[in-house]
């Protein structure tokens, strides 16, 4: 495999999960040194580090805590000194209906925004400061088709957080591209991970793939391959793009 990412250190959040782990493996295969962030699954993060031959680091942080993202960035810079890329991949998808109590409704929206958006925004802030003081860097935000086309009645916060993430990506691209900081959003439809399995368990696979012309969910490795491509130093002109990975289920 081409080692297009040789010498790059990349922080990947939520890296013990399905898409995150695939991203880490792909980045490592292309020569990068990943910083594997995990929330709770220490054993999964350690196993992942072992799978990439130990050429990276692992870091714990709870992104549901107000300070979590800032602590994570400090930890990453302490470990690696120079970070070249940030992949905001951590995310949750909460079901909450309009029949929920006021307290449950507000709690679901606040938690979803904290993890999917505020945590990512805080990391972007710190990364931009670090990148522009150190010769540049790249941000990849894992958004979702849900943020582009709107989302299901029982999980509306999810789509809203992802739309915000796409918008943040565009603002960064417009504002900091001139200082060597570029940002790209990747917007998958269903990807076959635990998040998708939960949906399939509740609603069936037919419901998940019904509106996907190719009749299949994406695989985590497809998304990972694209992340590695976007991080290549040669790909600066992708700055500001939102890349759709949805089998044709949403064509803009």
Query: C-alpha angle with apex 16: 217 to 11, nearest 5 degrees?
Result: 100
User: Strand 85-88 vs strand 242-245: parallel, antiparallel, or unpaired?
Assistant: unpaired
Site string for ligand NAD, 114-143 (x = CB under 6 A): -x--------------------------x-
> Which is closer to ligand NAD, CB of 34 or CB of 39?
39
Tell which one of 8, 9, 16, 239 touches ligand NAD (CB under 6 A). Answer: 16
Euclidean distance between CA atoms 171 and 194, whole angstroms: 31
The answer to whether 195 contacts ligand NAD (rule: CB under 6 A) is yes
Residue 85, interface with ligand NAD (CB under 6 A)?
no
Q: Which stretch binds ligand NAD (CB under 6 A): 57-65, 125-133, 174-182, 226-234?
A: 57-65
Q: Tell me the window of 35-43, 47-55, 130-138, 230-238 that interacts with ligand NAD (CB under 6 A).
A: 35-43
Can you tell me which of 84, 144, 148, 239 binds ligand NAD, judged by CB under 6 A?
Answer: 144
Q: Measured from the CB of residue 135, what is the shortest distance to ligand NAD in angstroms?
A: 28
| From 19, 52, 139, 163, residue interacting with ligand NAD (rule: CB under 6 A) | 19
- Residues of the shown chain interacting with ligand NAD in the complex, contacts defined by CB under 6 A: 14, 16-20, 38-39, 41, 62-64, 89-92, 115, 142, 144, 188, 190-191, 193-196
């Amino acid at each position: 495999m081409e080692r297009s990412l040789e010498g790059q250190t990349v922080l990947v959040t939520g890296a013990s999960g399905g898409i995150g782990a695939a991203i880490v493996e792909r980045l490592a295969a292309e020569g990068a040194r990943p910083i594997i962030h995990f929330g709770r699954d220490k054993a999964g993060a350690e196993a992942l580090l072992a799978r990439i031959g130990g050429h990276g680091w692992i870091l714990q942080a709870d992104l549901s805590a107000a300070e979590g993202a800032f602590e994570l960035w400090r930890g990453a810079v302490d470990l690696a000194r120079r970070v070249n890329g940030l992949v905001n991949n951590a995310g949750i998808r909460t079901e909450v209906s309009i029949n929920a109590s006021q307290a449950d409704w507000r709690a679901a929206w606040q938690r979803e925004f904290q993890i999917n958006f505020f945590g990512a925004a805080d990391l972007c802030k710190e990364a931009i400061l670090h990148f522009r003081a150190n010769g540049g860097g790249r941000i990849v935000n894992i958004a979702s088709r849900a943020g582009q086309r709107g989302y299901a009645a029982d999980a509306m916060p999810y789509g809203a957080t992802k739309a915000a993430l796409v918008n943040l990506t565009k603002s960064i691209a417009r504002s900091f591209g001139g200082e060597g900081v570029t940002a790209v959003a990747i917007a998958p439809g269903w990807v076959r991970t635990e998040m998708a399995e939960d949906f399939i368990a509740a609603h069936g696979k037919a419901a998940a793939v019904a509106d996907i012309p190719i009749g299949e969910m994406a695989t985590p490795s497809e998304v990972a391959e694209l992340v590695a491509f976007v991080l290549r130093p040669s790909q600066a002109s992708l700055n500001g793009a939102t890349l759709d990975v949805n089998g044709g289920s949403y064509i803009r």
